[in-house]
Amino acid sequence: MMKKLYVILFFCSLFQLDAAAQSFTVTGIVISEGGDPLPGVSVTVKNKQQGVITDLEGRYRLENVPPDDILVFSFVGFKTQEIPLESRTSINVTMEEDRAQLDQVVVVGYGTQRKVNLTGSVGSVDGETLTRRPVTNPVSMLQGQVPGLRVVQNSGEPGNEGLSVQIRGRGTFSDAGSDPLVLIDGVQGSLSDLNPNDIENISVLKDAASASIYGSRAANGVILVTTKKGKEGGFNLEYTGNFAIHQPTKMLDLITNSAEYMELWNEAKVNTGINNGLYTQEQIDLYRNATDRVQYPNADWVDIVFNPAPTQTHNLSFSGGRNGTHYHASVGYVDQEGVMKGFDYKKYNARFNLSSQINDMITFGANVSAMKGDAVRPRQGAVDVFISTLSQAPTYMPTLPDGSGRYSYKAYDFESNNKNIVAIIENEVFRSTTEYGMNVQGWTNVNLLKNLDWYTKAAIVGDFSQWDDWRPGVPLYNYHTGEFSTDLDVGGRGLIVENNQNIYTNVYTYLDYAATIGADHNISAMVGYSTEENNYEFLNGYRRDFFNDQLRELNAGGPAVQNSSGAEVEWALRSFFGRLNYNFKERYLLEVNLRYDGTSRLHPDTRWGAFPSVSAAWRLTEEPFMKNSGPGWLNDFKIRGSYGELGNQNIGNYPYQSLLSLTGNYPFDNANLSSGAAQIALANQDITWETTKVLDFGLDITVLKGLSATIDWYKKKTTDILRISQVTAIVGLDAPTINDGAMENTGVEVNLAYRNQVNAGAMKGFSYGVGLYLDRFRNKLVEFGEREIGGTTLKEEGRPWDTFYMLEWTGIFQTEEEIASAPKQYNDDTQPGDLRFRDQNGDNVVNDDDRITMDGQYPNFEYALNFDARWKGFDLSFFFQGVEGRKIFVNNWGALPFVQGSPPTEAWRDRWTPENPSSTMPKIYWGFNSPAKISRSSSFYLQDATYLRLKNITLGYTLPVSLTERFKVSRLRLFLSGDNLLTITDYPGLDPERGGSGSFVNYPQNKIFSMGLSVQF
C-alpha cells in the first residue's frame, strides 16, 4: 500500500503547481557575449511548469513568480544559467557560449561521438530539417539531405510510395539486395512506420569503419534513427498539424476527341495491315457532329479517375522531466486520399519514451511505439489501375447514357479495352489491408565504476497485417444498345483473406569504458554481445461462391470451391562486437572495430564470420604550429582514412539445406489424393559470407567560422556474392546458391555548408544557411561469368550492372530510295515513316548483332541545394534536388498507341504521314499488333530522365511572445509549404523521378500545397 502511495505522490509532483502568498512580475532581456539579443531562449521557474521564450529582441516577461524562486535560462549552444530571483523584478542575462555543446554530437553504432573526433564517414540530419517537408513518409524526407544516400520515390500512392534507398550505389546483385539496415533507437525497424515528428535526428553510416560494428547486416550501410526524449524542466505540450492538397506533378496529354481518335484508329490499323474492326464514316460523323455529348461523348477517362486529393496530418506531444525522470509521449494521425480514385490511407502512431535515474549508479528506461495503418486500393495495384484508365476509348463513359447507373463495356464490339476501372472502384473490388506495428524496448545502464558503464537493451518488434481481396460479379453492357456484354474482369470471383505476422527479438549488452590518462591521452573501449531471432508466418484462405455481395466473410462463402495455405520460417543471429578508440590531444585519432557474427542461414562449418575495420584521422589544426602561427581563417582541418569489411547474409532462410517442396496431389493408395513432395533445387553446404570491403579517404574543413566542407572518396567492392549458379536446365533441378561474382562501386561525395548571422545594420538579426552537395559514383561488374542479355539490358564483366543494350535509333525513313540504299532492317517490310536503326558491324544488315551498350542506367551525378533563413519572426527555406545523366527505357501504354485501345498522346499528331514527313515521330501502328519494326527495343524508347526539381519551399511566421503569452501560448508558428512545385526536365513521360525502366505509366508523383501551424504551451 505504501509503495502505491509513493508512486502516486511521485507522478503528482511532476504536474504540481505551486502557490505563493506573494508573487512578482519579472522582466528582462537576454543577450549574447557580443551584446546581441537572443530570441528563443527558454526562461523557466526551476522545478515548476512555468516559463516563456524570449522574443525577437531577447525580451521576456514572467508573471506570478514567488520572490524566492530560481529562474533557469537555457538555449542551444549556450551554458544553462540558474539565477535566484531574490525579490527582484528585473533580471538581465548574458549567455555564455558552451563550446563543448557547439561541437555537434553524432549518433554512431552503440553510442555517440563528437563530430570533430569522427574517423569514419557519417552523415547526419536533425528532425527539424526533415519535417519542413509536408510529406507523410519519413523516408521521403531524407532526399537530398546526406551525400551518398540515394532516395528515389517511385510513386505517389498513399502509404505505398515505392521508395528505394541505397547508400553509395548498388552493392551486390544477389537476392540480398542493396537496402541499408535501419535501426530505431538501436533496434531494427521500419523508418516508414515512424511518425516524422518523433524523430530527433538521423545518422547515416556510409563507410565500413562506421558500420562494421553491425557486421553482417551492414554491407549496404546503416541508418540510425534516434527518437525524441524528455528533458529536465516543466511540462511541455505541443501540437503540429497541416492540411494539404495533392495533385499529380504531370499527366499525359491524350487525344480524347472521339472523332480524331476514331480516324487515328483506322489509320493505325490499316498501317498494321488489319482491315477489319474499323470505324465507319457514319460512326465517326455521329461523334464529330453530335449535339448530345452524353450519347456521343469525348470521354477523358484520365480526368474522370484523377482528381486533386486532400491530406491532413496531426501530431500531439507532451514531454518534460524532473529529478532525473524524463518522458516524451506523442500521438499522430495521417489521413491521405489518393489523387487516383480508389486509393486511401490512414496511419495512427503512438509513442512513449521514458528514462529514470534511480540513483547515482542505475538508470533505466523504455521506448514503446505502436502503429496502425489502414490502406485501401484496387486489388491489381496502381499500375494496373492507370493502365485500365488509359485503355478505354473516348467513345463511351463509365456508365450507360440512359442514367440507369449500369456500367459500360464498349461503344462498339470491335473496340479494344481493359477493365472498367470506375466499376472496379464503385463496387469495391479492393484489397483492404490493416497493418499493426509495435516496437517495445527496455534498457538499463549501470555505472559500475567511475569510467565503466554496463548497458543492456531487450526489444521485441512485431509486424502484423491482414488483407482481404474481394471480387464480386459485376455485369457490363454495350454503351449504345444497353445489351449485356460480359462480366467485369475482377481476376476470378470470390474472397481471399490472409494474415501475416513477423516477430523479431533482439537482446544486446555491452561494457563501455572511457578514460583520460594524464592530460593528453583519451581512451575508450566497448565490448558486447547480441542475439537476434526472427519468426515469420502466414495463413491464407479462399472461397469462391457467395450468396450476396454484403457478407464478406469466409464463413459466408460456400465450401464447394475453397483452398488454404500457410507457412512459417525463422532465422537467428548471434554476435560478439567491440570497439577501441584512442586520441592524443584530439589531434591524432584512431578507431578499431570488430564484429563476429554467426547466422542460421549458413552451414555450421561456415556460419561464423569476422568483420574488422580500422580508421584514423589527423586534425592538422590541433598541431601547435597551426595554433600558434597558422592562418586565422582556418578553423578546422581533418584528414581521415578508413578500411573495413562487412558481411551480407540476407539470402533466404535455408539456402544450404536440401529442401522438399509440395509438388501436387497423388493417389498413392489408388483411392485418396495425398500431397507429394520432392526436392526441386540443388543445395550447397559450402556457401559462406558475401563480403564487402570499403576503402575511404576524407577531408573535413571549416574556415571563416562558418564555411565547412566535407569531401569523401571511396571504393566499395563486394566479393563472394551469393547468387544462383549459371547452370543448364538439363540438370533437372533448379540451380543452387553459390559464392561467385564481384561488384565494385567507386565514388566521390562533396558537401559544402555555410551559416552566418548579420549583427549590424538594417538586417540585424538576419541569420541564414546554405548547403550544397554533389554525389558521383560508378558501378562495375567485376566478376560474373557468362554474360546475360535481357530485353533491354546486358550483364557483362567490366560494365555497370544491367547496362542498357539495344539498337541505336538514327532517324525515320522518308523515301523508298532511302530504304533501298540503307542496310536491310531485319526482315522487315520497311516503309517510309518507319524507324531506322544503325548497322554497327558494317555487314549491311541490321539485326540483333547490331545492339550496342548505352550509358544512362546510373546517373552521372546527383546534387542538392538547401537554403534557410530567419528574420524578425519570419523563416524561409527551400530545397532543390537534381539528377544528371540518367536514362529510362519506357514503352507500351502511353508510348505505343492503341495498346488495349489506349488513346495516343498528343505528340502523335506530329506522326509521319506522306503529307507530314516527320523526323521525330514515326508512322502510327496499332497496339500490341504493331510490327516489330516499331516495337523492338531501341534508343527511340530510351528517354533522358535528367531533372532539377524544387523539392520544397516553406514560408513560416512565428508570432511575438508578447502577443501569444496572453493566451498562455509560449510559441505559435504558422506556415505555408509546397512540394514538387517546379521540375525542369526533358523527360516526356509522367515524372522523371521513378524507380527504373518499364511501363510508361505509374502512380504519379504528387505536387503538394500545404498550410499548417505549430503551437507550444
Task: Indicate the burial class of 381 (C-beta count within 10 angstroms; 0-12, 13-18, 19 or more).
Answer: middle
pLDDT, position 6: 37
Given this model, what pLDDT does residue 916 score? 94
Q: How many CA atoms lie within 13 A of 851 on its CB side?
A: 15
The Cα 306–Cα 301 span in angstroms is 8
Per the rule left: phi > 0, alpha: psi between -120 and 50, beta: everything else, 606 is: alpha
Give Cα 705 to chain centroid, integer Å. Answer: 34
Residue 916 and residue 267: Cα distance in Å, rounded? 14
Q: What is the separation of C-alpha 1007 from the centre of its chain, rounded to a whole number of angstroms?
A: 17
- Could you tell me the CA-to-CA distances from 591 to 116, 363, 453, 565 in Å, in that order? 14, 28, 19, 51
State the pLDDT at residue 22.
Answer: 61
Exposure pattern of 145-184 as b/e (b: 16+ CB <10 Å)?
bbbbbbbbbbbbbbbbbebbbbbbbbbbbbebbbebbbbb
Tell me which residue of 732, 601, 738, 725 sits closest to 678, measured CA to CA. Answer: 732
Cα 217 to Cα 116, 169, 408, 460, 687, distances in angstroms: 27, 16, 53, 18, 17
Q: Residue 18 has what pLDDT?
A: 38
919: three-class secondary structure by DSSP: coil
Give the strand order in the sheet containing 407-408: 407-408, 475-477, 484-487
What does the alpha-carbon distance between residue 398 and residue 396 come to, in Å, rounded to a whole number?
7
813-839, pLDDT tens digit by residue?
999 999 999 999 998 999 999 999 999
The strand order across the sheet containing 51-53 reads: 51-53, 42-45, 70-74, 81-84
CB atoms within 10 A of CB 1007: 20
pTM of the predicted model as reported, rounded to 2 decimal places: 0.85
pLDDT of residue 885: 93
> What pLDDT, on a 0 to 100 scale, did the predictor assign at position 19?
37
**Nearest Cα to Cα of residue 391 among 999, 876, 1005:** 999
Are 577 and 592 in contact by the 8 Å Cβ rule? The answer is: no
Among 188, 76, 148, smallest CA distance to 530 is for: 188
Nearest C-alpha neighbor of 749 from the set 146, 29, 254, 311:
146
C-alpha cell at 440: 517495445
Q: How far apart are the first and last CA of the chain?
A: 35
Q: What is the mean pLDDT of each run of 10 residues along the chain (1017 residues)?
A: 38 37 80 75 78 80 85 78 87 74 68 79 86 84 87 87 86 78 91 90 88 85 90 83 93 93 96 94 94 94 94 93 89 94 95 92 94 92 91 95 94 94 92 94 93 95 93 93 93 91 96 90 94 94 86 87 90 94 92 93 89 93 81 87 87 78 76 79 84 93 88 93 81 82 93 87 85 93 90 92 94 94 92 94 94 93 93 91 92 85 92 93 92 91 93 92 80 92 90 79 88 91
Specify the pLDDT at position 335. Answer: 95
CB 235 within 8 A of CB 154: no
Could you tell me the CA-to-CA distances from 527 to 115, 187, 510 in Å, in that order? Answer: 22, 18, 5
The three cell numbers locating residue 999: 511501363
Name the strand (E) or helix (H) holding 209.
helix 208-211
pLDDT for 295 = 94
E-strand spans in 131-208? 149-153, 163-167, 181-184, 187-188, 199-205
Q: What is the CA radius of gyration of the chain?
A: 33
Cα-flanking dihedrals φ and ψ of residue 626, to 5°? -80, -35
Sorted by where each starts, the structural domains of the chain and their CATH numbers stand as 24-95 (2.60.40.1120), 105-240 (2.170.130.10), 250-299+858-1016 (no CATH)
